Amino acid sequence: MALTKVDQTMVSDQVFGRRNLVINGAMTVAQRGTSATALTSGGLFLIDRFEGIESTNGAATVEQSSDTPAGFAKSLKLAVTTADTDMGGGQYSRLKYVIEAQDLQRLNYGTSDAETITLSFWVKSSKTGTYCFSLVKEDSTQYFYVKEYTISSANTWEKKKITITPTAGSTTLITNSAGAIADDNGAGLQLGWFLSAGTTYNGATNDAWSSNSNHFATSNQVNWMDSTSNDFYLTGVQLEIGDNATPFEHLTFDEQSSLCKRYYQQYSGFHAMAMWTYGRNNGSCQFVLEKEMRSQPSSSYSGSLSDTGVSSGTAGVYEADWVAFSSLTLSPTSHESGNSKMIRLDTLHPANTFASNNVAVGIYFSDTFYLKFDAEL
């Protein structure tokens, strides 16, 4: 039987095993929702791990879409809803993705052995022209890299490849010690797809590292915000070590969902938890998250508190009957601080609501009442 020589470029730990440094690059997980939602200047996560930011005089939405290239089921879609034809100096719109620092130690940034990395992605837009991708090395000293890419044909899926060397632009910023990425749970690399950028941000040199904190795009960047006919689709995002763009690393939905839940978790559809009263106007219980999070999450809920029973979008507390409900707090307590999986749920009620101290009561949730836990970078 004849033996076939295996291409050595495909036999490495970058191909066999997890090689994509981006979570949810196929845009399949969208815990917060899938329908069009307005972007804000403060940033908005809809599809997990990808944050849309719009800081212009216009407006845009983000949603999960089924318009995809072959081999993918979902994409992220942005659409302009209010145009801004005159981009101010400090204005911009972009997509952002941040990689946790401890997941980047194999890049060897901050040493003479710093790795070349390659980004690949599928993109489609009704607006053709030059766009800019930015990479920010985070931590105590930030360094900035920008690379132009071109959308050549309107409304057509195109695959792009960007290879980033540690000495791009003949600099030693990344190979010197200040280029190091800390081995911790903070921000390591920030990826950015710029859609528009005013003069404050578009002074970068193409394909070069810089220490200028405003270098996110070049002066060739299109103004995607200039028409309500403009849309932008993205999927198949992969960042890997080396100068090759290998085929996209597809994971199961369950695997991707689990990875996303390190940064955000949202719960609904569970109907009751037991609480213990303390005093006659407080209740408390422990809420254990499905997965340990990157750090102690910020906690919130969406819905309303009901005194008369549970209906759509509400939560209520029951002793011998439904009781008056003043507030709901989700937070760690002193002995739980630092535990990124254990949450304490506390309720507050009017004085003497409960019959006695230290008795069991129930808190009930409707299917559309959401508990939210956020540890995004």
Distance CA 354, CA 363 (A): 13
Q: What is the pLDDT, as a whole number, of residue 9?
A: 43
What pLDDT does 139 receive? 86
Is the per-residue pLDDT at 373 higher than 80? yes
CATH 2.60.120.260 in the chain, residues? 8-260
Question: Where is pLDDT greater, at 355 or 188?
Answer: 188
The second-level CATH assignment, the architecture, of 8-260 is: Sandwich (2.60)
Inform me whether the pLDDT recorded for 6 exceeds 70.
no
User: What whole-number distance in Å separates Cα of residue 306 and Cα of residue 309?
Assistant: 6
CA separation for the pair 70, 62 (Å, rounded):
22
Specify whether the CB–CB gap between 22 and 260 falls below 8 A.
no
User: For the whole model, what pTM was predicted?
Assistant: 0.92
Is residue 12's pLDDT more than 60?
A: no
Taking 60 as the threshold, does the pLDDT of residue 120 lie above it?
A: yes
Dihedral angle computed from the Cα positions of residues 292, 295, 301 and 305, in that order, rounded to the nearest 10 degrees: 80
- Amino acid letter, residue 339: N
